[in-house]
Amino acid sequence: MKTIIGLGNPGKEYDNTRHNAGRMAVEHFAQKNDLSEFKFDKKSNALVSKGEKILAVLPETFMNKSGFSAAKLVKTKKENKDLIIVHDDLDLPLGKIKISYGKNSGGHKGVESIMRALKTKNFVRIRVGVISGKSKPADILKFIVGKFKPAEEKEFKKVLKKTAEALAVIIDHSPERAQSLFN
């Protein structure tokens, strides 16, 4: 069973924000692959959707507390290897994704929370680029919790499709194959 966690913040005020790119990507994947409707799981404090060999998870904690949900759902080293985290990344341009395994958090607070909770960095990550333009904005926090501009939404919809395709390759084949196709 593969566990896919889409990082983001709960609540309507965070819908369609850059910081919720991972959450939106996992929602899109679940919808495109006919997984069950997301239902609240009290134990993990997360919305959970199930498929034949997939558990899609949207923590209902804020980003920097995502490890709580992960620790309740992923309990063994074997399960760590079947864990995929999808999250936003300010170091990648909008429209790009990057798949990695066993890497450091890169300063992402949600990923750091999961690494601390699971006591490992040995899981797959799909980083979803959210930066448009050549440089990072002066006010990173305001930018990251801001909504996509209309011109950016079209590009982001393409990356949702690309991320869903990458997840399917990871699940059906391997992370290495997905890296060779999508990185």
- Tally Cβ neighbours within 10 Å of residue 154: 10
Helices (H) and strands (E) in the chain, counts: 7, 7
What is the length of the chain?
A: 183
Q: Distance from CA of residue 172 to its chain's centroid?
A: 18
Phi and psi torsions of 141, nearest 5°: -60, -45
Catalytic residue among 19, 28, 87, 108: 19
- Tally Cβ neighbours within 10 Å of residue 131: 20
Q: State yes or no: is 87 an active-site residue.
A: no
- Tokens (6 digits) for 71: 């620790």
Residues designated catalytic: 19
